[in-house]
């Protein structure tokens, strides 16, 4: 029996598997795409899907190929993701650098073990193209810095995130995300998503503990 990475999902044919590989903030280079194409051809992967979380899902893998496919892809197979819009690096409306912020979050927070998968969205202005209000943790750029929201979810038990803090510098936002994740780990239940945790705990109690 092959040891499969977490996040590898058996498909409805009960024979093949899907994996999701995660480029930071959905940014890819031509070389990355060529590598993905080469791997897909080499292992006869029948379907590649761009997911809502700016990931690439490779679908229809044979079980015995999964470890080698994961090893040859240019991006990690991660349970969490940080999606981001173009921000002020490219977008006319952008007031903050969402791409740089997403990369910084990935570096600083990705290795923190958490109770359940975490989806994050970083938007470079209040238009909120990176769906920040329906992610476990969201950042929204404003002219005064970052607004940090927590507890959003876009699934069947949809929830709009609550505002935890406003007017944060990049460093302050990263530090508060770090402390929020620690608080969630210490006070939440195993497998409890952030949206359920925030709902149960209440944003006022979370603010009181962290601000």
Q: Which residues contact 120 (CB under 8 A, 6 or more apart)?
A: 80, 81, 82, 83, 102, 105, 135, 136, 137, 138, 139
In the complex with ligand SF4, the residue whose CB is nearer, 22 or 123, is 123
| CB 143 to ligand SF4: min, Å | 12
* 97 vs 195 by CB, closer to ligand SF4: 97
Is the Cβ of residue 16 or residue 132 nearer to ligand SF4 in the bound state?
Answer: 132
List helix spans (H) across the chain.
30-42, 66-72, 87-90, 98-109, 170-187, 194-201, 203-210
Least separation in angstroms between residue 177's CB and ligand SF4 is: 19
Distance in angstroms (rounded) separating the CA atoms of residues 207 and 165: 8
Of 132 and 195, CB closest to ligand SF4: 132
Q: What are phi and psi of 100, to 5 degrees?
A: -65, -40
Q: Give min distance, CB of 140 to ligand SF4, in A.
A: 8
DSSP state of 125: S
Rounded to a whole number of angstroms, the minimum distance from the CB of residue 170 to ligand SF4 is: 16
Chain residues binding ligand SF4 by CB under 6 A are 85-87, 91, 93-94, 98, 123-125, 127-129
174 contact partners, CB below 8 Å, separation of at least 6: 104, 105, 108, 109
Q: Find out whether 114 and 192 touch, Cβ atoms under 8 Å.
A: no
CB of 109 to ligand SF4, least distance (A): 21
The minimum distance between CB 92 and ligand SF4, in angstroms, equals 7
Q: Which is nearer to ligand SF4, 101 or 194 (CB)?
A: 101
Residue 152 or 188 having the CB closest to ligand SF4? 152
The Cα 118–Cα 149 span in angstroms is 13
Q: What are phi and psi of 5, to 5 degrees?
A: -70, 155
């Amino acid at each position: 029996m092959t040891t499969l990475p977490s996040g590898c999902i058996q498909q409805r044919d009960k024979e093949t598997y899907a994996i999701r590989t995660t480029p930071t903030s959905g940014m890819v280079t031509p070389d990355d795409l060529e590598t993905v194409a080469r791997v897909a051809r080499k292992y006869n992967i029948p379907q590649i899907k761009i997911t809502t979380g700016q990931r690439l899902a490779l679908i229809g893998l044979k079980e015995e190929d999964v470890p080698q496919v994961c090893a040859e892809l240019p991006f990690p197979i991660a349970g969490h993701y940080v999606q981001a819009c173009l921000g002020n690096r490219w977008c006319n409306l952008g007031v903050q650098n969402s791409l740089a912020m997403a990369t910084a979050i990935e570096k600083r927070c990705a290795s923190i073990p958490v109770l359940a998968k975490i989806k994050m969205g970083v938007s470079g202005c209040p238009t909120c193209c990176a769906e920040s209000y329906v992610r476990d943790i969201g950042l929204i750029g404003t002219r005064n810095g970052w607004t940090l929201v927590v507890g959003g979810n876009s699934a069947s038990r949809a929830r709009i995130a609550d505002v935890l803090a406003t007017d944060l510098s990049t460093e302050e936002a990263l530090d508060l995300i770090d402390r929020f994740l620690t608080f969630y780990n210490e006070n939440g239940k195993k497998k409890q998503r952030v949206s359920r945790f925030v709902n149960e705990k209440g944003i006022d109690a979370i603010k009181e503990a962290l601000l």
